[in-house]
């Protein structure tokens, strides 16, 4: 399966990196990048292993850190994984849009 980034996912990802850089430093940025790469490897290898959304079919969630989740959509017929958004788990879940 091939992974594609939506504009929203890319925007959210860089927003997290900017926040970490400004508030915690380069080591935390590197750690988040490494954890994201690890998660993407797991998603690519086992795309249907992670929790499916109760609201929308084929949308799943995996945790990057305890504070950040990654939502993605699986398109098995096209052999694609679309990264939808990175989500700060401390936010109100009613605000989540994907």
- Give the pLDDT score at 81: 97
Length of the chain: 98
Q: Where are the domains of the chain?
A: 2-88
Rounded CA-CA distance 2/23 in Å is 33
Looking at residues 47-76, what average pLDDT do you find?
92
Q: Is residue 94 pLDDT above 80, yes or no?
A: no
Which class in CATH covers the domain with range 2-88?
A: alpha beta
How far, CA to CA in Å, does 77 sit from each of 74, 81, 93? Answer: 9, 11, 30
The string of pLDDT tens digits covering residues 1-15 is 899 999 999 999 999
The string of pLDDT tens digits covering residues 74-85 is 998 999 999 999
């Amino acid at each position: 399966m091939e992974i594609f980034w939506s504009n929203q996912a890319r925007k959210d990802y860089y927003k997290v990196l900017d926040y970490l850089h400004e508030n915690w430093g380069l080591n935390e940025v590197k750690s988040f990048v490494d954890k994201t790469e690890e998660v993407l490897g797991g998603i690519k290898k086992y795309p249907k292993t992670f929790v499916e959304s109760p609201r929308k079919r084929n949308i799943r969630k995996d945790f990057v850190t305890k504070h950040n989740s990654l939502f993605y959509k699986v398109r098995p017929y096209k052999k694609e994984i679309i990264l939808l958004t990175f989500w700060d788990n401390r936010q109100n879940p009613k605000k989540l849009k994907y």
